[in-house]
Amino acid sequence: MLRHTPVLARETFENLPNSFGRYFDGTFGHWGHVEYLLNHREEQHPGQKVEVIACDLDQRVMDKGEVFIGKRNKQVKLLHSSYAAIRSIWEQEGKFDFMLLDLGVNMEHFKDGERGFSIKTDADLDMRFNQDAKTTAKDIVNHYSLQELVRILIKYGDFSEKSAEYFAKGIIEERKKKKIESTWELKEILYNLHCNQKKIAVIFQVLRIETNKELEQLEQFLQDFPNVLTKWGRCAIMTYHSIEDRITKFAFKALEEGGKFRLVHKKVIQPHYKEVEKNKAARSAKLRIIEKVV
């Protein structure tokens, strides 16, 4: 019985390459996909051994994962690292037959009131996946210039220039009076700027993306992963945000046009409504898979 249902797990792992031995999970999270693979590999690939290298930026996630998965499964190795460091992971660990990124936050991030990801709990405005990283959401809110705030609101939140400027100016006016420290202080400021709950959630997501440089990390991975796949190896990327999906789609298209890769499915894979009914987190998931053919 699985403790947590990973998104699009069946669709991901029914696309494993025929010869499959080495799996890289770049977003270990609460190890849902790793656990699914370990539980199902015998049905799909009887007798084949699998070696798993998994990483996550979040040290707390890695500590829990070590206890529940790492220590119990000798074939699983956990690294506290960004998937964007795939080049150096390759130098240390070798190539992979299958690679998966399941981007974004894990549900524990929202549930953990201290981390500042959720608008539902009052917490320090932190939002770092990696507790060793320097920049927090608080730094962004209190120190970014008007232009910088406008840029991220337009780019990651799809706000019009007019709305982005309105919210950015509102935040700057408030921080002149008092440093913005917590999630609820920011929520209150946005609420007073006539921001509804949905828009507040979008602005929190913008801050999370910027705090963790999520798009830059993805772009770095997309640049480096082609060298790290074995021949006939496959890479699967699951996104929850339209920009991440667009970046992935264009990078995969360019690889296919280069002649050394093939899209495994022409159309993006999305969850069945029954999966969404059971797991709301799956509702905006999009999965793309590419195969290395030479």
Ligand X SMILES: C[S@@+](CC[C@H](N)C(=O)[O-])C[C@H]1O[C@@H](n2cnc3c(N)ncnc32)[C@H](O)[C@@H]1O
Residues that bind ligand X in the complex, under the rule CB under 6 A: 6, 26-27, 29-33, 55-58, 61, 82-84, 102, 104-106, 129, 212, 217
Q: Which is nearer to ligand X, 22 or 30 (CB)?
A: 30
Helix axes 197-211, 214-228, angle to 10 degrees: 50
Cα–Cα distance for residue pair 189/174, rounded to 1 Å? 7
Least distance from ligand X to the Cβ atom of residue 64, Å? 10
Question: Radius of gyration over alpha carbons of the chain, in Å?
Answer: 20
**What is the rounded distance in angstroms from the CA atom of residue 157 to the CA atom of residue 21?**
39
Place of tokens 């040290």: 59
Separation between Cα atoms, residue 120 and residue 135, nearest integer Å = 22
Report in angstroms how near the CB of residue 42 gets to ligand X at its nearest. 20
Least Å distance between CB 83 and ligand X?
4
Nearer to ligand X, 29 or 167 (CB): 29
- Which residue, 99, 94, 49, 95, is CA-closest to 74? 49
Q: How far is the CB of 9 from ligand X (least distance, A)?
A: 7
CB of 6 to ligand X, least distance (A): 3
Q: How far apart are CA 243 and CA 200, in angstroms?
A: 19
Q: Please state the closest distance from residue 149 (CB atom) to ligand X, in A.
A: 22
Smaller CB separation from ligand X, 161 or 216: 216
Of residues 167 and 225, the one with the C-beta less far from ligand X: 225
Q: What is the Cβ-side half-sphere exposure of residue 51, based on CA atoms within 13 angstroms?
A: 8
The smaller minimum CB distance to ligand X, of residues 112 and 181, is found at 112
Give min distance, CB of 268 to ligand X, in A: 17
**Closer residue to ligand X (CB): 31 or 159:** 31
Q: What are phi and psi of 234, to 5 degrees?
A: -130, 150
Q: Is the dihedral of CA 34, 37, 40, 46 positive or negative?
A: negative
Buried b (16+ CB within 10 A) or exposed e, 69-103: bbeeeeebebbbbbbbbbeebbeebeebbbbbbbb
Q: How many CB atoms lie within 10 A of CB 10?
A: 13
For 272, other C-beta atoms within 10 Å of its C-beta total 12
Name the residue nearer to ligand X (CB basis): 11 or 174.
Answer: 11
Name the DSSP class of 70: I
State which residue, 30 or 164, has the beta carbon closest to ligand X: 30
Instruction: Please state the closest distance from residue 217 (CB atom) to ligand X, in A.
Output: 4
